[in-house]
Structure 1
């Protein structure tokens, strides 16, 4: 039997389970994404597990679905308006792309960082979202870590195919994975400046994520695209 006595974690998704329980998708640093049942989590006088809250967790069980023995709130991150939808986007990407039980403390740290940034009204949301998307793509096996920004030519347009290394675009070539050398270097060095670089980086990361999504829609992104919120992801 797998038994974890104490771990931080976050709720990625929650849905009702049986009469008064919840079935949770959780992100933890030591176990990655896991499924767990919070028994009686919807009973009278009991709080439900919710997103954007750092939890203190303990669980046990065999197989894919565990039973939570402890689920206490440790810190609440307050996301409102467009930033709350960006938080849903962050969670939705993790649910649809992150394999279960693939622990990666670096990705967990990137997840915590993007939520902290979204909860801080003084911080623009875009840089944190791009860092998070980049961290997720690296976890999925994209070769972005093997690109040397110093070897990129600023005025050259590159094609960065899924799970491949960049190559200069052929004359007249149009590709959804095209990006300017200056923008690609800035993305990899976390120094995106100006609207042009930000748009190119956003477009490339979105196309790479769509490749891995294999046609699965991102509902939170659709809300932004319909104009209900400011476009930030």
Structure 2
């Protein structure tokens, strides 16, 4: 069994004396693991940094074996990630969430394209927070937790939508919320793709997407805790406000 694809390196860990096991996110083969022989060497180890774009060739005797990778660098994102605290925290959040959420070997080409585009914006600090928020919305959709924000879940109106139901992920208008308003999540205009994308609204949007990542997606994955890298990114972002 063998195939070749391009992918984003999610993580790496030492394997034996000189090898490494890596996980990559590829458009056609999803999240896929394999052994890189000599992965700890001076030649290869600098290539195997989270977020790196790699050309990978996977080979195994049987399809269900872990197999081995031959890797070639396409582009590194290490230098950009190290250019600032927010960039590094953002890259770590993206790779950690993908490794956490994605089923093994299940293709998600749309999410792959969005992830690649997002990581390519790492050096554009003014664009990154909004792009990241939109990426989390896409991640929820791909994992089956799409938010429905175009009409009120109670009345059907499209006006004055300011809340999200934590149970259904649907929008709720100010009037329909009534006495339950303090139990609902914020729905800033930016979460619906409307209005100015100021940082305060992005921070509110991250509260809402974070709730669904934690209380729905992570719970359905065995009630595992969401990767700390995500909270570190949100903390780094809100510290700038």
TM-score, scaled relative to structure 1: 0.82
Equivalent in the alignment of 1:51: 50
What SS class does the counterpart of residue 65 from structure 1 fall into? coil
Aligned with 1:124 (options 110, 127, 139): 127
Is the contact made by 2:10 and 2:99 (CA closer than 8 Å) also made in structure 1?
yes
How far apart are 1:190 and its partner, in Å?
A: 6.5
Q: Which runs of 5 or more structure 1 residues have no equivalent in the other structure?
A: none
Q: How does 1:1-233 map to 2 (within 5 A)?
A: 1=1, 3-4=2-3, 6-43=4-41, 45-48=43-46, 49-61=48-60, 62-63=63-64, 65-68=66-69, 70-77=70-77, 78-80=80-82, 81-82=84-85, 83-121=87-125, 123-144=126-147, 147-148=149-150, 153-162=158-167, 164-168=169-173, 170-174=177-181, 177-180=184-187, 183-184=188-189, 186-189=190-193, 192-211=196-215, 212-214=217-219, 215-224=224-233, 229-231=236-238
In terms of mean alpha carbon deviation, does 85-94 or 151-160 score higher? 151-160
Q: TM-score, normalised by structure 2?
A: 0.80
SS, match of residue 186 in structure 2 = strand
Instruction: Decide whether the 8 Å contact of 1:149 with 1:189 is kept in 2.
Output: no
Segments of 5+ residues of structure 2 without an aligned counterpart are: none
RMSD of aligned residue pairs (Cα, Å): 2.8
Aligned length: 223
